[in-house]
Every structure is written in structure tokens, then in C-alpha cells.
Amino acid sequence: MPPTIDALVAALEGAGYFADRRLATAAFLALKLQRPLLLEGEPGVGKTELAKSLAQVLGRELLRLQCYDGLEQREALYEWNYAAQLLHLRATEGQAPAEDIEREVYQPRYLIRRPLLQALQAPPPGAVLLIDEIDRADEPFEAFLLEYLGEYQVSIPELGTVRAACTPVTILTSNRTRELNDAVKRRCLYHWLDYPERERELAIVRARVPEASAALAVQVAAFVGQLRRTPHAAHFQRAPGIAESVEWARALVALDTLTLDPEVVQDTAGILFKQREDVAALTSVLTAELLHEEAQS
């Protein structure tokens, strides 16, 4: 792993990810202390991307568990391949004592490994385990996860206990659609990932959309920043994230835009906002105001 926080910042940047000092410190400590890192923040601020970039930097395999309402252990951890077990039973029916057949049916080759189990069994140097959008899963699942994160081992009744050969680097993300269990939070290092400051957003836009002119990239970063800070932002259902800045820069290049003007902003509002009310809230008056402020700053 990178020996210092600065080295980690540089390595992440090499992988196309721009982290500020506090985020890099949190990630560095998570690596050093082998603790899970919980990243909370609005959608599109770079939570998922951090896990991907860390995997790249560390030369580790990325294993991703996308959470959703109703997610169950068998989709997260493992399940038995019933169809294959059944075929095995059919093929061996009457040829061996029942206990033998039962043992044969619960062989590792009939085990379907899901991300949490895969993470325990990943070959050195181990995996990066991304437990994405944990706030979408329900509380029983969170309780189960607590146990997993505490011990990094699982017991499979038919096979025994599986322990992590190498502790996975674990990143949990949450869009904070609900509060997480306190016990889960206590087990993790915590970082609130905010919208980037202007310089960093500019660096991201420039790196991701190199075809945009320097002037246009500056305008995009500044305008989106203003959009999030304006008092009107309190009424937006969902402010644009970094993903939207990047998309917007691409769209503007596709339209051969050289500099922002109210008309092009209005015409492309559907890239910045994904809610009808938000698009409507970006009135031509507000657009002109923001462009004016931007020109002044």
C-alpha cells in the first residue's frame, strides 16, 4: 500500500480519482488499521468511484455488493446450487447410502459464492469489498453485516467455518436515505463526502473530459458550484453531483459550446437535473443571475 497519505493521494490521482486530504486520510487509516470505511454523502460525489480507484491502486480485485430492499444473505454470502444438487441426486439415486449422497451433494463445487464469501476467499493480496448503498438494505441485513464485519468469517453449516485469508479492504457507502445502525457505524471509520471545492471539481472535469477547452471546464465547474450554493438550492430535490458536471461538460463539447450562455444552459438543464421540478426551477432569470455571479468571481 502507499506508504503515506500524500503517496495515496498521488496514486489515486494516477487512477483518475481526485481526493482531498481528509478523504485520503480516512482511506489511509482504513487501510492501515484494517477497518471498514463508511462513506456517506449525496449521490454522485464519488463514493463508489473511490472503492473502484482504491482497488486499482492496490492491485486488488473489486468485489461489489449492490444493496437493495429485500437483499438476502443468499444473494450476499452464498447459496447452494439446488438444480445441480438435484441432478447429482438423480444420477446417483439408489447407488449409494443416503448419508454418502448427502455428503456428496454439499461439496464446495455446488456452492455459489456471492461477494461477501468471495471476499473472504480472494487470493493474496485480498480484495476490495464494496458494500454499495447499504442504506437501501433493511435492518436485519445490517445486523447480519455487523457480525461479518466484526469477524470476517462465516460459518457454513455443511462445510464449516471460512475465515478471511487476507482481510478485505471494505468500503461501505450510503446515500443517507435513512440513518444506519449505530453499531455498524461504530465498527467503521466514518467520512462524510461533500461536494468538491471548485479547484478539485475543475481537476476532475479536465481529467474526465480532456476534449473540453480549459475555459469551458472552468465555467462548468464554477457554474455547477454556484448552482449548489445558491439559496435556491435548498428547493432542489437533488443538486447535481460530480457525475452531472462531467456529463454536462461532455454534452457542451458535443454542442460545440465555447462559452456558457443562458440559452445553452437552459437547453441542457436535463443533464444537470433529473427531476422535472428542478429543471423548471432553473429559470432563465436564475441562470442569468448565476452566470453573472460567476463572471464576477
Ligand X SMILES: Nc1ncnc2c1ncn2[C@@H]1O[C@H](COP(=O)(O)OP(=O)(O)O)[C@@H](O)[C@H]1O
Question: Which residues lie near ligand X (CB under 6 A)?
Answer: 16-19, 41, 43-49, 173, 204, 208, 242-243, 246
Within 8 A by CB and 6+ apart from 13, the residues are 19
Separation of alpha carbons 142 and 180, rounded Å: 8
CB of 132 to Mg ion, least distance (A): 6
Separation of alpha carbons 224 and 210, rounded Å: 18
User: Smaller CB distance to ligand X: residue 37 or 120?
Assistant: 37
**Among Mg ion, ligand X, none, partner that 152 touches (CB below 5 to 8 angstroms by kind):** none
User: Smaller CB distance to ligand X: residue 27 or 105?
Assistant: 27
User: Smaller CB distance to Mg ion: residue 5 or 50?
Assistant: 50
Separation of alpha carbons 61 and 36, rounded Å: 16
Q: Considering all CA atoms of the chain, what is the largest pairwise distance in Å, rounded to the nearest integer?
A: 85
Chain-centroid distance, C-alpha 58: 17
**Among Mg ion, ligand X, none, partner that 191 touches (CB below 5 to 8 angstroms by kind):** none
Number of Cβ within a 10 Å radius of residue 205: 24
> Which residues, 38 to 77, sit near Mg ion by CB under 5 A?
48
In the block, residue with C-alpha cell 441542457: 268
CB of 37 to ligand X, least distance (A): 13
According to the binding rule CB under 5 A, does residue 257 interact with Mg ion? no
User: Smaller CB distance to ligand X: residue 49 or 75?
Assistant: 49
Residues that bind Mg ion (CB under 5 A): 48
